[in-house]
Structure 1
Amino acid sequence: MSQRYRITRVMQETAEGGSAPAITLEECRRYFAAQPDFMYTPVFTVKGETTMSIEGDFFLWSFGDKPIPFRHYQGDLYVSGTNEAVIPRMMQVASDLHADIMEG
């Protein structure tokens, strides 16, 4: 079973003591558009014995022959840790977005 990670600002507070703003889809679009190894897609298709398409906001990281999806959902980004190579890239994304990484 693979580990899933969440890139979030939920644990952060502003200087005024309020909650840090969520990661918006627009913010993700701007950030990932500047990353040459990512592309946006509104549908992610998983192929195997059967084919399944999932609608959402996906930023696909080009790593080797399989794209690794970073999914924006309700103010956070989610990514699977199935491939160990995703960990340093995920850490870079979180740092650039001034966010934290949580399991789940």
Structure 2
Amino acid sequence: MNQRFRITRSMQDSNAEQSISLEECKLYFESQPDFTYSPVLNIVGAESTMTIEGDFFMWDLEGAQIAFRLYMGDLYVAISNEAIVPKMIEIATELRADIVEG
């Protein structure tokens, strides 16, 4: 099972902008050559496909699509590959946010 992490500012008392906004994410991820925005995430199983609506920033990691989901002011990502960890840290640093498990 993959670990899930949250990139958040909710623990920062000194930061006036505790929520990470959609506009802020779109500006940041547009500047990243290996990210695209998607309003849906399609998960294809052996016998069915599930579609989840939301704000997803899809990272192309060697042909695999890794979803960073913006939900209620925080970004979420599941760690299915060790290469995701440094990218998650880079994103949190650029967004002036913390990383918490869960």
TM-score (norm 1): 0.92
Structure 2 unaligned regions, length at least 5: none
Shift of the alpha carbon at 1:48?
2.2
Cα RMSD (Å) of the superposition?
Answer: 1.2
User: Which residue matches 2:42?
Assistant: 45
- Counterparts of 1:19 and 1:36, CA distance in 2: 29
Structure 1 unaligned residues grouped into runs of 5+: none
User: What does 1:19-98 align with in structure 2 at a 5 Å threshold?
Assistant: 20-49=17-46, 50-98=48-96
The AA in structure 2 aligned to 1:101 is: I
Q: 1:36 is matched by which residue type in structure 2?
A: P
Runs of 4+ in 1 over 2 A off after TM superposition: 18-21
Is 1:13 matched up with 2:10?
no
Amino acid of the structure 1 residue aligned with 2:83: A
Shift of 1:21: 2.4
Identity of aligned residues (%): 53
